[in-house]
Amino acid sequence: MALNIMQLATLFADKNPGITQGHRLCPGCAAPNVVKFALMIAKAKGFEPVVGLATGCLEVSTTIYPYSAWNVPYIHNAFENVAATISGVETAYRALARRGRLVDPDKKYAFFAFGGDGGTYDIGLQSLSGAIERGHKFIYIVYDNEGYMNTGNQRSGSTPPGSQTTTAPVGKKLSGKVQIKKNIVEIMAGHENVYVATVSTSEPMDFFKKIEKALEFDGPSFIAAFSPCVRFWRVGDDKAVDISKLAIETGYWPLYEVERGVYRITKRLKELKPVRQFIEAQGRFKPLLKKADADDIVNEIQEYVTSRWERLLALEEATKDKPIR
């Protein structure tokens, strides 16, 4: 039974979502809302969240010793291993439950792993793939801000071409990163028995439903959350939601889910706005847009976005009622 906004508002008027005030994330950062949305839903559905976090902005900003912005069980291990760490936690939970040593045996636990795109698309991909393959019951959520933002805006496998970064900068000769953003959703959806979805904080109801689905899914889940970094995307502190909306309307960040190989678009667009609108709305593409080859790169992104959208429509049609297992 899907939760509605009224129920959630009532529920959380006097209930904290697990991550509390006092963290030191930048004003306007989308990441804390990604966490809040996920944990709120878990709590609303009667789950007790246990959180693992990869090294990144979210981690360094929320746990500066001796303070912690988390009042749910929380573990940070290293950059590349949050999925392996949470698989250890989840396995310990099963072992302790079976052996009668859980402190709270009657509670429903929900295991979350959060990581940025660096810790997910790149250095953490192996441990994430391994944990999903092993079938641990956990929900992995990547907050995708398209770069290594914690260390100051370096390129990641998620950075789009032409975006200004410090390790693939736009310069006189080169126009920044040449590769298109890695399609992490397809990589994750390629695993067996997994629930995979994209979300955005600008579409909260869609986000909520997908978390509910992940909580109920019998197996691992992977959720990619679009998460603008207002600092390095060079947009206003109040622009994360607007930019996210543009990303969805242009098809740059399509909202869909893949459940055991069955594709479903959850926000159907009659037509896509030009991706140029999304690009021009952000300062991070400014150096590119001043260059002679800007159109080539914008066109390349547009072609990719359009063809992926068409492919998604086709996959939805082709996989209807055909789960892998």
Partner 1 sequence: MPEVKNRQAVTGAQAVANAMRQINPDVVAAYPITPQTPIVEYFAQYVADGLADTEMIPVESEHSAMSAVVGAAASGARAMTATAANGLALMHEIVYIAASLRLPIVMPVANRALSGPINIHCDHSDAMAERDSGWIQLWAENAQEAYDFTLMAIKIGEHEDVRLPVMVNLDGFIISHGVEVVDFIDDEAAKKFVGKPIVKYPLLDLNNPVTYGPLDLYDYYFEHKRQQIEAMKHVKHVFKQVAKEFEKISGRKYDIIEKYKTDDAEYIMIALGSTAGTIKYTVDLLREEGHKVGLVKPWVFRPFPKEELQEILNGRKAVIVLDRAASFGAEAPLYEAVKSALYEAAVRPQIGSYVYGLGGRDIKVEDIRKAFEDAFEGNLIADEERYLGLRE
Summarize as ranges the residues that interact with partner 1 (CB under 8 A): 48, 50, 52, 59-60, 63-66, 68, 70-78, 80-81, 84-89, 91-96, 98-99, 101-104, 107, 109, 126-127, 129-131, 133-134
- Nearest approach in angstroms of CB 77 to partner 1 is 6
CB-wise, 80 or 249, nearer to partner 1? Answer: 80
What Cα–Cα distance (Å) separates residue 277 from each residue in 265, 272, 273? 22, 11, 7
CB-wise, 106 or 317, nearer to partner 1? Answer: 106
Question: Shortest CA distance to 58 belongs to which of 68, 45, 47?
Answer: 68
Q: How many CA atoms lie within 13 A of 7 on its CB side?
A: 11
CB-wise, 21 or 173, nearer to partner 1? Answer: 21
- Nearest approach in angstroms of CB 26 to partner 1 is 16
- Nearest approach in angstroms of CB 139 to partner 1 is 15
- Residues 213/194, Cβ–Cβ less than 8 Å: no
Beta bridge partners of 144: 226
CB-wise, 1 or 103, nearer to partner 1? Answer: 103
- Nearest approach in angstroms of CB 61 to partner 1 is 8
Question: Shortest CA distance to 56 belongs to which of 141, 128, 149, 123?
Answer: 149
- Nearest approach in angstroms of CB 31 to partner 1 is 15
For residue 312, the one-letter residue type is: L
Tell me the C-alpha distance between 146 and 144, whole Å.
5
Beta bridge partners of 76: 53
